[in-house]
Amino acid sequence: MANTNNNTIKFFSGEQIPVELHKVRIVQKLFLKPIDERMKAMEDAGYNTFLLNTKDIFLDMLTDSGTNAMSDNQVASMLQADDAYSGSQSFYRMEKALQDVFGLHYVLPVHQGRAAENIISQVFIKEGDVIPMNYHFTTTKEHMELNGGTVLEIYTDEALKIKSSVPFKGNIDIEKLKDVFVKYGKEKVPFVRMEASTNLIGGQPFSMQNMRDVKKIADENETMVLLDASLIGENAYFIKKREAGFQNASIKDILLEMCSYADLVYFSSRKVSSTRGGGILTNSNDLYMKMRDLLVLFEGFLTYGGMSVREIEAMAVGIIETCDDTIINQSPLFIEYAVNSLDSAGIPVITPSGALGCHIDAMGFLPHIPQSDYPAGALAAALFIISGIRGMERGTVSSVRDKDGNDILADVELLRLAFPRRVFTLSQTMFMLDRVKWLYENRDLVGGLKWVEEPPLLRFFMGRLAPSTDWPQKLIAKFKEDFGDSL
């Protein structure tokens, strides 16, 4: 039978091209400003792409958070929103959809993912606890540490290798997990955290087998499993694609099995269901009751949790759509196309391709820049100047300083170019690939960055930097030589 459920339609040429199984009916105009204006915008933003203004950006590949395209059905659902402080029908529709998709009964809505992290950390973490996990996420770690916990990353040896063919680099190392319980004792471990499509190490998934093993060890030690499901749809897609025994399983069945091993599931809806918001789910009345009062205190009443009813309706539809292969495939297939193109041009990029975006290895791209001069930040700035494409630094700028004020150098120094779901076209993707390749040819012209203003908490969001030499001017001169008046 012909497979109508796959966006990789075979071309006569034999090429593998990801074809969009949607049409674009609402569009937003974009501008590509001249290079001198892009340079001025970068200076005004303190060489921090978070501080750019979208009027100056051509392709916004900063994140997929809150930027996925909504479907017609999501937008239509927003019209039936039921405005009510409590008891809104919109909430009950969303609750039912989340119960169906995640298979867990109690639903606590929150305004976004980090709000769930705040509540979970406050309720379950006490001073001196340790939290083993496949890898941290920035806001997760801050919340856990604010509540006295220490994050233990127990990834496998392969996880941080840039070039690899291991399909599940997001796995927890099960032997290291056993050692954590031996070393610290189970009473110090409130839960083990699994992050789907591990964000900071290149959107790398974990396998179902790994999740089963984690659950078994957690049960033996009478502790909980916490699943960060912000990118769970993509992780399920990779299980279906890469793990033996799942080829014929539906995304929905895979999601249900993944969640069945978790005591608590939380998510950023900005990613998983293409709308603002988030949530926490559990099957345990006891756990629900422990979190309920904090929800009302920090987020809002139990039936809106800081979200607008329109977003709640869109979440109900969006979470069901996450189970549709053609919707969940789209971003990983574009990422795979882009990663393969960069990899075959010899550009260091995380392989195998994962979720969320292309992750370029800035230390491999710019080996002449010491890590203390922030090569990933410099690469993000250089790419914006030469293309109007905004990526995100995911390296030492996104890290913190130790007690003595020294930078904690990041394990991996990445420039992330995110592919929000169903937003960019293939020609825009090809433009990005072309400009990254030009930059790679001219990489010697790029220099480092230094701090001008460095906030103590989550410095990457608001901090300002400057180039350590006049390298941007040299890069612009070469760009003009090669491209003339062209943008």
Contact assessment for residue 107 and residue 98, using Cβ atoms and an 8 Å cutoff: yes
Q: How far is the CB of 15 from ligand F0G (least distance, A)?
A: 31
Any bridge partners for residue 15, and if so which?
none
Q: Which of 138, 139, 150, 326 is catalytic?
A: 138
Q: Which of 56, 64, 129, 228 is catalytic?
A: 228
Any bridge partners for residue 192, and if so which?
225
What are the backbone angles phi and psi of residue 148, rounded to the nearest 5°? 90, 5
Tokens found for residue 305:
């949790």
Any bridge partners for residue 59, and if so which?
389
Residue 390 in contact with ligand F0G, rule: CB under 6 A = no
Number of residues that bind ligand F0G (CB under 6 A): 16
Tokens found for residue 209:
């087998």
Active site residue 126: no
Half-sphere exposure of 322 (CA within 13 A, CB side): 31
- DSSP letters for 32-65: ---HHHHHHHHHHTTT-GGG--GGG-SEE-S-ST
Secondary structure class of 360 (helix, strand, coil): strand
- Alpha-carbon distances of 231 from 179, 188, 189, 227, 462, rounded to whole Å: 28, 28, 24, 10, 25
Distance, in Å, from the CA atom of 312 to the CA atom of 108, rounded to the nearest integer, reads 12
Dihedral sign, Cα of residue 268, residue 269, residue 271, residue 275: negative
Q: Which of 39/117 has CB closer to ligand F0G?
A: 117
Q: Which of 278, 305, 332, 463 binds ligand F0G (CB under 6 A)?
A: 278
Q: Name the DSSP class of 396.
A: S
Active site residue 271: yes
Q: How far is the CB of 54 from ligand F0G (least distance, A)?
A: 15
Active site residue 228: yes
Q: Which of 48, 90, 112, 341 binds ligand F0G (CB under 6 A)?
A: 112
Q: Which of 89, 139, 150, 442 binds ligand F0G (CB under 6 A)?
A: 139
Q: Which of 215/270 has CB closer to ligand F0G?
A: 270
Q: Which of 113, 149, 205, 395 binds ligand F0G (CB under 6 A)?
A: 113
Q: Name the DSSP class of 10.
A: B
Q: Which of 93, 114, 169, 390 binds ligand F0G (CB under 6 A)?
A: 114
Q: Which of 177/280 has CB closer to ligand F0G?
A: 280
Residue 421 in contact with ligand F0G, rule: CB under 6 A = no
Q: How far is the CB of 268 from ligand F0G (least distance, A)?
A: 3
Residue 195 in contact with ligand F0G, rule: CB under 6 A = yes
Part of the chain binding ligand F0G (CB under 6 A), chosen from 26-34, 156-164, 228-236, 333-341: 228-236
Q: Which of 7/118 has CB closer to ligand F0G?
A: 118
Residues making contact with ligand F0G (CB under 6 A):
63, 65, 112-114, 137, 139-140, 195, 199, 228, 230-231, 268, 270, 278
Active site residues: 85, 137-138, 228, 271, 394, 460
